[in-house]
């Protein structure tokens, strides 16, 4: 059985036992977390929500919080002497999917 869930403005297809790096959650490391926005449940029978499947939940354990790799952006305007380097590191949460409740 698999599920498609939405968190942080992105959609993820998950199966029990998967590890995901998602956008930062407000949860402590080592604690369980429940995803309520389940868009689809698949397996023998596919259930698609409109927009979410009512009563469906995905249970996960928060493994750790970390920061992603640094992304660099370079801005430049030719012949003007303007150049600028901008860096960004995304805050991430690592979760392990434990159970899918349909």
Residue 6 belongs to domain spanning: 2-101
The HSE-up count of residue 100 (CA atoms within 13 Å, CB side) is 20
Residues 6+ apart with CB under 8 A from 41: 1, 2, 3, 47, 53, 56, 100, 102
Number of domains, the chain:
1
Q: pTM of the entire structure? A: 0.84
Is the per-residue pLDDT at 10 higher than 90? yes
pLDDT tens-digit map of 59-98: 999 999 999 999 999 999 999 999 999 999 999 999 999 9
Check residue 102 and give its pLDDT: 83
CA distances to 14, 17, 56, 101 from 2, in Å: 6, 11, 12, 10
């Amino acid at each position: 059985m698999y599920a498609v869930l939405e968190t942080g403005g992105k959609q993820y297809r998950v199966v029990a036992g998967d590890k995901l790096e998602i956008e930062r959650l407000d949860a402590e490391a080592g604690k369980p977390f429940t995803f309520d926005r389940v868009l689809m449940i698949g397996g023998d029978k596919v259930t698609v929500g409109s927009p979410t499947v009512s009563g469906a939940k995905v249970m996960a354990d928060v493994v750790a919080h970390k920061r992603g790799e640094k992304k660099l952006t370079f801005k430049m305007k030719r012949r003007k002497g303007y150049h600028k380097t901008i860096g960004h590191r995304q805050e991430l949460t690592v979760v392990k999917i434990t159970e899918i409740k349909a």
